[in-house]
Amino acid sequence: MGNIRNKMGTFIVVILSLAFMLFWLFPYLYLISSAFKPGSEVISIPAKFFPTHLSVENFSDLFDRIQVFKYMGNSFITAVLSTIIAVILGSLASYAISRSGAKLSVLLVVLVLCLKMIPTSSIAVPIYEIITNMGLYDTRIALIVVYAAINIPFVMWIMISFYKGIPISLDEAACVDGASNFYTFRKIILPICLPGIATSAIFTLLLSWNDFLISLLLTSINAKTFTVGLSEFLSAYSMDLGPMCAGAFIFSFPVIILSIVAQKYIIRGMTAGSIKG
**Which residues, 6 or more positions from 34, have their beta carbon under 8 angstroms from its beta carbon?**
42, 58, 241, 242, 245
* pLDDT by 10s per residue, the chain, length 277: 557 777 777 878 888 888 888 888 888 888 888 888 887 777 777 777 788 778 888 898 889 888 999 999 999 999 999 999 999 999 888 888 887 766 676 677 777 777 778 888 888 889 999 999 999 999 999 999 999 999 988 888 888 878 877 888 777 787 777 777 777 888 888 888 888 888 888 889 999 999 999 999 999 889 999 999 988 887 655 677 888 888 989 998 888 888 787 776 666 655 554 444 4
C-alpha triplet 202, 206, 211: angle, nearest 5°: 155
Q: What is the pLDDT of residue 237?
A: 59
Phi-psi region of 214 (alpha: psi -120 to 50; beta: other; left: phi over 0): alpha
Using the 8-state DSSP alphabet, how is residue 53 labeled?
Answer: S
**Cβ atoms of residues 124 and 213 within 8 Å:** yes
Q: What is the pLDDT of residue 81?
A: 96
Backbone φ, ψ for residue 239 (5° rounding) = -145, 95
Q: CB neighbours (10 Å) of residue 133?
A: 9
Q: What is the pLDDT of residue 276?
A: 44
Q: What is the pLDDT of residue 101?
A: 65
**Cβ atoms of residues 151 and 204 within 8 Å:** yes
Q: What is the pLDDT of residue 218?
A: 93
Q: What is the pLDDT of residue 277?
A: 41
CATH number, domain 66-273: 1.10.3720.10
Q: What amino acid occupies position 67?
A: Q
Backbone φ, ψ for residue 202 (5° rounding) = -65, -50
pTM given for the model: 0.83
Whole-number Å distance between alpha carbons of 80 and 144: 9
Q: What is the pLDDT of residue 8?
A: 79
Say whether 60 sits in a helix, a strand or coil: helix
Using the 8-state DSSP alphabet, how is residue 188 labeled?
Answer: I
Q: What is the pLDDT of residue 268?
A: 61
Q: What is the DSSP string of 42-62?
A: HT-SS--SS-SS---HHHHHH
Q: What is the pLDDT of residue 275?
A: 45
Using the 8-state DSSP alphabet, how is residue 239 labeled?
Answer: B
Q: CB neighbours (10 Å) of residue 8?
A: 10
Whole-number Å distance between alpha carbons of 30 and 42: 10
C-alpha triplet 254, 156, 140: angle, nearest 5°: 50
Q: What amino acid occupies position 68?
A: V
Report the candidate in 20, 11, 38 with the shortest Cα–Cα distance to residue 243.
38
